[in-house]
Amino acid sequence: MNKKTILSEDELTKIENSYNFVCNDEFMTKRLANIENNIPWKHVKNNTKKNRFRKQDDKILLKHDPYKFVEIPKNMKEIITHLCNKNDITIQLLAVKCNLPLHIIDNYMTKYNNLDNYYLHIILKNLNFDLLEYVESQKKSSD
């Protein structure tokens, strides 16, 4: 009795085959499938700060610079106000027509904030003003 019996490979495979069977309860699988189909699936939005910032990082707005290597005149604010007065447009209406936030135009006009050339191009395009022609005419008049 103290002697341990070692099983042969054939006996081990017989034991594994006798206990290795798949038992599927068809009634339970059909019941769970029916429950999954009948319960409405509700979407849970994960609204953590990390996910919000990750979604914003995926969106990259590429802005072209139409006035690259062009010397923009220093009296640009006066030109914009003159064009607004000429067309009888307020700054709020200009922001609506350009589809830009009002604070971008307002900070440029009233405060000493810089305006990106992309936004400047949109504003001048809606006011029917060509800055490149204006700069060339100023160069010719100064020469």
* Whole-number percent of the chain with pLDDT over 90: 44
Euclidean distance between the first and the last CA atom of the chain, given in angstroms as a whole number: 118
Task: Give tens-digit pLDDT for 38-86.
Answer: 877 665 556 665 555 555 555 667 888 889 889 999 999 999 999 999 9
72, 139 contact by CB (below 8 A): no
Residue 143: how many other CB atoms lie within 10 Å: 5
32 HSE (CA, 13 A, CB side)? 5
83, 127 contact by CB (below 8 A): yes
Q: Which pair of structure tokens corresponds to residue 2? A: 């103290």
User: Which domains, from first to last, does the chain contain?
Assistant: 76-142 (1.10.260.40)
